[in-house]
Each structure stands twice: as structure tokens, then as C-alpha cells.
Amino acid sequence: MSNNSSNQMWGGRFAAGPDAIMEAINASIGFDKRMAEQDIRGSRAHAAMLAAQGILTDNEAAAIREGLLTVLSEIQSGNFEFSTALEDIHMNVEARLKEIVGEPAGRLHTARSRNDQVATDFRLWVRDQFDAVEQGLLALINALLVQAEHGADWVMPGFTHLQTAQPVTWGHHMMAYVEMLGRDLSRVRDARKRMNECPLGSAALAGTSFDIDRHMTSADLGFDRPTANSLDAVSDRDFALEFLSVASICAMHLSRFAEELVIWSSAQFRFVTLSDRFSTGSSIMPQKKNPDAAELIRAKVGRIFGANVALMMVMKGLPLAYSKDMQEDKEQVFDAADNLMLALAAMEGMVKDMSANVDNLAAAAGSGFSTATDLADWLVRAVNMPFRTAHHVTGTLVAMAESKGCDLADLSIEDMKSVHDEITEDVYSVLTVENSVKSRMSYGGTSPAQVRVQIQRWKDVLA
């Protein structure tokens, strides 16, 4: 709405209010009201510090701190009227504080600017998201560990190029995602540690002439230390970009797993049955049970990585220090955080609920000549054949089995000897999928024993 009186927060030099379009493009209150709690927390810490430094009286600070709690409860109970004319959460809160406590409210903005204020609020908000993602990851990892432990020795086909490659174990496949999510966890923790510095007191860009105690506000807000350069502090959004890039990689992992669940739950594979709780039906085809949750998780990486790219583009080329461009940071991060949390929770639910169809997995594990590599390895070990030659001999046997329409294990010993006369009955022992996976005892390999070693390692790490 157009307004002919100038802004009560900064309107001293203005004769007229902004055009309606100016107000619409300028206002961020529509989204940054999500940082109300962080804004009030930061302001309460600032007021306490100003009083401790003798910049405000104790009475003034007490009135401000009390009044801010009233504002917070109004916002939390939905009894707060947000105003677009007041642009953003910072000015909305301050204006309401003025109505509640009067004159002292005008002293709150001493020795700070909206530039260090928004940088502080947003860091607090993003820090909470890092913590929430950490919890979401831990919950999903634990659900995967339960699946892995359950099926440490269930055999299933391992794929390359989505073509049957070698038998692996269900537990091994689950643990592959534990590794990926474990790296996400370590990226979350690493980035959170790096971002935990407090910009408050950097003021507009140059610091302040008031004798403030930045260590006090930093500690009060749970930061490790104050930021060391005021120009950088008010214009840095690395913490948001790191959140988005960590979120993008994590969402990419979830997307890969989601794609596998879509394939595995199809009528052609039937490797897993997803629960009704995480599936939907079709309004026209009564037989359908669709893996919508998995499909949506698969898609989320698109918007999350989109947010990452968008904020990179907003930040590139910005001169020091603050520019209003940076107001465009929040919606991207809010949306990415909401959707990553949703994706993590939905994946956790699906993993907890899903049941592996062990017989189908085993049948598929044995098809497609999946133990051909075991046969070649046997030739190397038993006949001392160079691997290249063994590969060739095995290929000939695969072609023979294929033409007979049978598996490798169904070839007679005469058939085998016709290709290479040193092959003995002993070869059949390596052609079963159970023996194939059991033999993959190398560290990090798919044998149930190795899988159990890794499950235990993760349990110890997470304990």
C-alpha cells in the first residue's frame, strides 16, 4: 500500500513514503518473520550487553528485555500484526516494542545496524537447521543399521550399469547408504563448527564507536567467538551456501536411494514391499500402489540444488559490504531446509517400514551369471591361470550356458572340461551365490562377516 508519510524507522531525510511497488519489492516481512525468535533472542542479548557496558541503564535494558518477551509471545500466539510498511522482522519487532515499552525501545539500536542484526539472526536460524539435519541424518542412519543387521547375509544382485554384476548382501547395500549419510553428517558438523561465529556488533559495516563487548553477546547467543572483520561479517553468506551445498549433496544421496526404491518396488523387480503408510493409490487403476514418497524424495534434490545455485548467483559479484541483494538469501534457505527435513523424515519412515522380499532377492542374485567372476577367480587360484585367460575361459562357459538356457552351475563337468580340461568338481563350490558373497572377505567387501564388522563400527561411532 502506498504511503505518504515517511518511514518511522529511517524516514528522517524523506519527505514522502515509498511507492506501493517500492514497498512490495523491498519488504521481506512475508518470509523473514520466520526468524522472529532469533531476532528477539539477538536483541535481548544486545540489550543485556549494552547495560553491562553502561551504555543503557539497567532499567532501560530490563524494560527492553521484558518487552521483547511480550512481543515474542504475541508472535507465537498469532496475535501480532505484521506490517509491510515496516519492511522486515527487525523493524516490525522494534516498532511493536516501542508501543509496549516506549522510549527505551529507541535505544535498542545503539551500536548495531540491521546489517549485523540480520546476519546474526540468519546464522542463528541456519545453525538450528544444521542441528535439525544432524538429528534427521542420525535417525535415518539408525533405521538403515537396523535393516543392515537384519539382512546382513541376505543375498541380492549387485549391479553395475544396472546390469547384474556380482551377488552382494542386503546388509552391504544398506551400509553403502550409511557411508554416504555418514559423510553428510560429518559435513554438517564441520560446516556448523565453521559458521558458529557471531556478527553482532559489526554494525553497518565498520564496527562501532561505542565500547561494546562482542565476546559477551557472542557467548550469550551460543557462538564460539565474535567474527573478526566487520566488513566480512555483514556481507558473508558462506554459512548459508555451505548449508545449501551440504543439503544438496545429502539430497542427492537420498535421491539415489529413492530411485532404487522405485525400481525395487516395481512389479518387475519385487525386491521390496513398501508400506501402505508410504505409498499411494491411483484414482483410476485399482491395482496400483505407487512409491510417491520415494519419487518426491528423488525430486527434492532439484529444488535444493536450485536454491544453492540461486544464492551463489545472488552473491557473485557483490561489492563489500552489505547490499540489498542479500535479502534474497532467506527464501532459498528456508525452502531447502524445509524440504530436506521432509525428505529425511520420509526416507526414515520408508526404511523403517519396508520389507525385503528375501526369496526374490535370492532368485535374482543367482540369475544373469552373477558368479562368473567367482569362476574366473577359481581358475586363477586352482589352475594358476593368468586372470586374463581365466576371464576368456569363463566367457566361453557363459556363452555355452547361455546357449543351453541354463546357469553356470547347471553345466556338467564334461561341458566344463570341454572348455578347459583342468577344471574339477571343486569349481561348483564357488558357483553358489551364498559362497560367492561369503568369499568376499576383503576389508569393506560384501561378505556377511565384513558387513557385520562395519555395522559394529558405525554403532561404536554413533554411540
Q: Kindly state the DSSP code that residue 272 receives in the 8-state scheme.
A: E
Pick the closest to residue 427 from 379, 361, 386 (CA basis): 379
Given its phi and psi angles, is residue 230 left (phi above 0), alpha (psi -120 to 50 degrees) or beta? alpha
Select 86 or 246, whichever has its Cβ closest to ligand ARG: 86
CB 154, CB 361: distance < 8 Å: yes
Given its phi and psi angles, is residue 384 left (phi above 0), alpha (psi -120 to 50 degrees) or beta? left
Q: How many CA atoms lie within 13 A of 216 on its CB side?
A: 14
Task: Name the one residue in this structure whose C-alpha cell is 532368485.
Answer: 363
* Smallest gap from residue 89 Cβ to ligand ARG (A): 8
Select 205 or 341, whichever has its Cβ closest to ligand ARG: 205
* Amino acid at site 440: R
* Smallest gap from residue 303 Cβ to ligand ARG (A): 21
Select 31 or 80, whichever has its Cβ closest to ligand ARG: 31
Select 120 or 308, whichever has its Cβ closest to ligand ARG: 120
**Cα dihedral 61→120→97→207 (10° resolution):** 60
Pick the catalytic residue from 161, 209, 283, 442. 161
The span from the CA of 108 to the CA of 359, in Å, is: 69
Q: Kindly state the DSSP code that residue 155 receives in the 8-state scheme.
A: E
Residue 427 is placed in which grid cell? 569349481
Length of the chain: 463
Select 118 or 455, whichever has its Cβ closest to ligand ARG: 118
Select 112 or 300, whichever has its Cβ closest to ligand ARG: 112
Select 126 or 365, whichever has its Cβ closest to ligand ARG: 126
* Smallest gap from residue 320 Cβ to ligand ARG (A): 14
- Asked if 282 is an active-site residue, the reply is yes
Residue 382 is placed in which grid cell? 586352482
Q: How many CA atoms lie within 13 A of 288 on its CB side?
A: 9
Residue 6 is placed in which grid cell? 515517511
DSSP SS3 for 249: helix
Instruction: DSSP for 371-422, please give it.
Output: THHHHHHHHHHHH---HHHHHHHHHHHHHHHHHHT--GGGS-HHHHHHH-TT
* Smallest gap from residue 197 Cβ to ligand ARG (A): 18
* Smallest gap from residue 351 Cβ to ligand ARG (A): 38
Q: How many CA atoms lie within 13 A of 436 on its CB side?
A: 27
Select 39 or 220, whichever has its Cβ closest to ligand ARG: 39
* Smallest gap from residue 55 Cβ to ligand ARG (A): 22
Query: 163-169 and 197-198 as β-strands: parallel, antiparallel, unpaired?
Result: unpaired
- List, as own/partner pairs, every contact residues 20-24 make where C-beta atoms lie below 8 angstroms and the sequence separation is at least 24, other chains included: 23/84, 23/85, 24/84
Select 147 or 202, whichever has its Cβ closest to ligand ARG: 202
First and final C-alpha spacing in the chain: 56
* Burial (CB count <10 Å: 0-12, 13-18, 19+), residue 217: buried
* Smallest gap from residue 6 Cβ to ligand ARG (A): 15
* Smallest gap from residue 32 Cβ to ligand ARG (A): 6
169 membership: H or E segment, kind and range: strand 163-169
Residue 435 is placed in which grid cell? 559362497
Q: List residues binding ligand ARG (CB under 6 A).
A: 28, 32, 88, 114-115, 118, 322, 324, 326-327
- Asked if 161 is an active-site residue, the reply is yes
Pick the catalytic residue from 282, 355, 412, 429. 282
Q: Kindly state the DSSP code that residue 449 receives in the 8-state scheme.
A: H
* Smallest gap from residue 337 Cβ to ligand ARG (A): 16
* Residues marked as catalytic: 161, 282
